[in-house]
Chain A
Amino acid sequence: MTEAGAPAARRGALNSEENILAEQEFMPAVRAMVGREYGRVYAWDAVNAPMIRQWCEVMGIDNPLYLDADYAASSEHGGLVAPPAMLQAWCLEGLHMNNYAPGSTDENPYEVLKLLEANGFASVVAVNSDLSFDRYVKLGEKLYYTTRLDAVGDEKTTALGTGYFVTLKMSFFSEKPEGDEQVGQLLFRVFKFRPANPVKPAAEGDSAPAVPKFKRPKPGISDDTRFFWEGCAEGKLLIQRCTACNTLRHPPAPVCSSCHSFDWDSVQSSGKGTIYSFVVMHYPEVPPFDYPNPIGLIELEEGVRLTAGLVGVKRDELAIGQAVQVEFHTFDDELILPLFRPVAQ
């Protein structure tokens, strides 16, 4: 349904001052539309078996309720029905933008999107589709829907760009001689936005993968910390030691907090320790990490503490005081990190 907003030519980047002026100019007109009801938009085709079969073929659905007349006849519906998730598709205008089936309203239920588009918010993505069903629709039924512009949010900036969340509520009906019957409803929310990072059209031979590869974030490495990461690469957990007073310290730092000496070397830890504290990350889920993501503050037997990921733990087994042992994992073929795994006490 993203075709609701015809992709007009995007305007050039406005400076921020013009942005504010633009908002002041057009937003009252947008707000005035909220609450407006729009008339019927009819389906081009009655609910029919060929469109259902093709939809099921693409989705990988083989439910006989939609495909096998004999099975469907014995169901609670008494005959073939359309897959419920198809509800909205019946009434879309198809190839030609805003080309609604005969009998449809002359109003444009998406006029608010056109107005936003005219003010520089050319792109659109669908965000929410909340379908509810009064009943399934059968072959031969002629559907239409009416629309209410429910809400337009404040200007928001997301990873995609800056724009507005627009919420439409649609009610779907089946046309009947004895009186039309509501068959379902749809809350549909889109984000109408000005793209933050339009991607230039592909150059000849451009074969960049579509799916960005998310890698583990790499540590910032300085002269103070390099020894630690080089140790990890060799499978050694190294701890910084003040050569003046023998105090161990972690994380690495240029100066001893005990005697203020700048002189240091390192010692190899046994990698044995206990969980001093922990946290389990649930939300937001950020790639490439797996969730829930347990992270420990490990007290090494040498006496210093370090933060590290935990592996091989179940949430209900995590406990302060649990004995753990370091192991080294390689990520993205280039990054070696110390992680800790529970061991018998």
Chain B
Amino acid sequence: MTSKKTKAFDEVLPGQALPELAIPITVQLITAGAIATRDYFPGHHDKDAARELGSPHVFMNILTTSGLAQRYVEEWAGPAARFADLKIKLGAPNYPGDTMTFTGEVSGRDEASRTVQVTLKGKNSMGNHVTGTATLVLP
């Protein structure tokens, strides 16, 4: 649940940790996420097609991962934090039955632009599904 209060630039300091967020990875989340992002690639909703492509099951699409990364950061930062960027890199796939746990910390702060940088990773049982950074403009 997004905090209705937005973090103020002055209260955010490098090294601060974001609270963990564990997200169960399900067939429903993977397929609904693909369709909500208008991504009808068969590997995201058709298990047999995914297997043909070398995966044991449907796997999460990168646009859903971006959405979940946005959620993780803004649940901490609050509704009025504005993303200047959101950069992610994928590693181990998210398959149904797994859990992805986000961790993150404040990794940078710029007075002039009133921005902070958050470094995040989302880890599942096979390693890091996603690593990335987000730059936020804070009030």
Contacts of A75 in B (CB 8 A): 79-80
Residues of chain A from 47 to 97 with CB closer than 8 A to chain B in the complex: 51, 54-55, 57-65, 71, 75-76, 83-86, 88-90, 92-95
Q: Given known contacts A75-B80, A198-B53, A210-B57, is B67 in contact with A92 (CB within 8 Å)?
A: no
> Number of B residues contacting the other chain (C-beta, 8 Å)?
60
Set A86, A88, A201, A214: member contacting B126, Cβ < 8 A: A214
| CB-CB nearest in chain A for B130 | A129
| CB-CB nearest in chain B for A194 | B54
Whether the pair B37, A65 counts as a contact (CB closer than 8 A) is no
B114 at the interface (CB under 8 A from A): no
Whether the pair A55, B56 counts as a contact (CB closer than 8 A) is no
B117 at the interface (CB under 8 A from A): no
Contacts of A95 in B (CB 8 A): 40
Contacts of B56 in A (CB 8 A): 199, 208, 210, 212
Looking at the assembled complex, report how far the CB atom of B79 sits from the nearest CB atom of chain A, in whole angstroms.
5
| CB-CB nearest in chain B for A43 | B38
Q: Given known contacts A2-B43, A201-B48, A210-B97, is B63 in contact with A88 (CB within 8 Å)?
A: yes
B51 at the interface (CB under 8 A from A): yes
Q: Mark A1-36, 1 if CB is under 8 A from B, else 0.
A: 111000100100000000000000000000000000
A319 at the interface (CB under 8 A from B): no
Residues of chain B from 33 to 52 with CB closer than 8 A to chain A in the complex: 33, 36-44, 47-49, 51-52
Whether the pair A129, B36 counts as a contact (CB closer than 8 A) is no
Whether the pair A62, B51 counts as a contact (CB closer than 8 A) is no
Main SS class of interface, A:
loop
Q: Given known contacts A88-B63, A129-B62, A210-B97, is B79 in contact with A71 (CB within 8 Å)?
A: yes
Whether the pair A198, B51 counts as a contact (CB closer than 8 A) is yes
Q: Given known contacts A131-B85, A132-B85, is B36 in contact with A198 (CB within 8 Å)?
A: no
Contacts of B51 in A (CB 8 A): 198-202
Complex interface: stretch among A120-128, A254-262, A300-308: A120-128
Whether the pair A61, B41 counts as a contact (CB closer than 8 A) is no
A287 at the interface (CB under 8 A from B): yes
| CB-CB nearest in chain A for B35 | A58
Whether the pair B87, A130 counts as a contact (CB closer than 8 A) is yes
Q: Given known contacts A3-B40, A210-B96, A211-B97, is B53 in contact with A195 (CB within 8 Å)?
A: yes
B98 at the interface (CB under 8 A from A): yes
Whether the pair A85, B69 counts as a contact (CB closer than 8 A) is yes
Contacts of A214 in B (CB 8 A): 125-126
Whether the pair A2, B44 counts as a contact (CB closer than 8 A) is yes
Q: Given known contacts A202-B48, A210-B95, is B66 in contact with A131 (CB within 8 Å)?
A: yes
Q: Given known contacts A86-B67, A196-B54, is B32 in contact with A58 (CB within 8 Å)?
A: yes
Whether the pair B40, A94 counts as a contact (CB closer than 8 A) is yes
Q: Which residues of B pack against A, CB within 8 Å? A: 1-2, 4, 23, 29, 32-33, 36-44, 47-49, 51-57, 61-71, 74, 79-80, 82-90, 93, 95-98, 123-128
**5 closest Cβ pairs, A-B complex:** A195-B54, A210-B57, A126-B62, A3-B41, A92-B38
Extra contacts besides A85-B69, A211-B95 (11): CB < 8 Å: A1-B62, A58-B29, A59-B36, A61-B74, A84-B83, A132-B84, A132-B87, A133-B85, A198-B54, A212-B56, A286-B127
Chain A to chain B contacts (Cβ below 8 Å), 12 pairs: A58-B33, A59-B68, A64-B79, A76-B80, A83-B67, A83-B70, A89-B38, A125-B90, A128-B89, A210-B95, A210-B97, A214-B125
Q: Which residues of A pack against B, CB within 8 Å? A: 1-3, 7, 10, 51, 54-55, 57-65, 71, 75-76, 83-86, 88-90, 92-95, 122-123, 125-133, 136, 160-161, 195-202, 208-214, 285-288
